[in-house]
Amino acid sequence: PAHQFKVPATSANLGPGFDSMGLALGKFLRIEAEEGERFEVIFEDDFLEVLPADEKNLVLDTAIRIAKKYDRTLPPLKIRMGSEIPLTHGMGSSASAIIAGVELADHFCGLGLSDFDKVMCGSEFEGHPDNVGPAVTGGLFVGYYGDGSLYYHTLALDGLAAIVSVPPYEIDTGAARAALPASYSRTDAVSQNAINNVMLLSILNNDYPTMGALMMSDRFHEPYRESLIAEYEDIRRVTLSGGAYATVISGAGPSLLTLCREEDVDRIVEALGSVSGCLHEKVEIFQ
């Protein structure tokens, strides 16, 4: 029988949580897989057709490599793939593909992986857990992956609405990472540490205005990447004047993530219509 499942889009960083924090969003990569004669991918959405349709596809390539890591051989799979996640736009499309590959290896090789194992496998592929983590767990994910260790916690975010603004161009993650400095001053590191700590307790105490102010105080990546996104200032002006808590770069961009009150979300999406060229849409937080 075919194995069907879906993996959510994710928005990494949330401002100061560079390479560490991420949020699962209600847009999905959908997979239906069954054993076949050879590795084959059938795309159900036209925009996916730029991707390889054989074992070089990131989903299958990951599945093959994960099977090998556990000393198994993945049987040839025929998969159908549909997606609501734009590619190379900072919404975790590669992480969703990697986690789909982990899921396929787990299912077809009977690996019995836990969520922790899946986040670990995904982090080994991506180098950081901020997209693969919430793609497995849902909700708000905060993780540390380094020196072969992985620690994480998750939290359901209540009483918040999310909007994504998606510009029409792509930003290569490698280029967006190359835009960052190689090192940070002690002053910046100490400030950033304080910003993160207070931000997390603000979330736990449902103090979203403080959370929002700190989300927009990042010193690790936003200051170096905002110039890559022409609409950054305009979108922020509209969302913040509409009462949003924060607008930050989603992952490595160019999409922006806005968090706001449920009762404000439709009005802010409508106001964002004035920032043309981008697609602005309300998106559920998936938890």
Where does this chain bind ligand HSE (CB under 6 A)? 12-13, 18-19, 128, 130-131, 173, 176-177, 221, 251-252
Q: Which residue reads 């280029």 in tokens?
A: 175
In the complex with ligand HSE, the residue whose CB is nearer, 108 or 220, is 220
Distance (Å, rounded) from C-alpha 174 to C-alpha 26? 26
- On whether the CB atoms of residues 225 and 252 are closer than 8 A, the answer is yes
Q: Quickly count: other Cβ atoms within 10 Å of residue 169's Cβ.
A: 13
Nearest CA-CA partner of 62 in 16, 25, 15, 113 = 113
In the complex with ligand HSE, the residue whose CB is nearer, 103 or 130, is 130
How is 149-183 classified by DSSP, letter by letter? EEEEEEE---S-EEEEEE-SS---HHHHHHTS-S-
In the complex with ligand HSE, the residue whose CB is nearer, 199 or 252, is 252
Q: How far is the CB of 61 from ligand HSE (least distance, A)?
A: 18
Q: How far is the CB of 173 from ligand HSE (least distance, A)?
A: 5
Q: How far is the CB of 206 from ligand HSE (least distance, A)?
A: 26
Q: How far is the CB of 248 from ligand HSE (least distance, A)?
A: 11
Q: How far is the CB of 125 from ligand HSE (least distance, A)?
A: 11
In the complex with ligand HSE, the residue whose CB is nearer, 83 or 131, is 131
Burial of 277 (0-12, 13-18, 19+ CB in 10 A): exposed
In the complex with ligand HSE, the residue whose CB is nearer, 69 or 177, is 177
In the complex with ligand HSE, the residue whose CB is nearer, 19 or 106, is 19
- On whether the CB atoms of residues 246 and 211 are closer than 8 A, the answer is yes
Helix (H) or strand (E) holding 13: strand 3-13
Q: How far is the CB of 58 from ligand HSE (least distance, A)?
A: 14
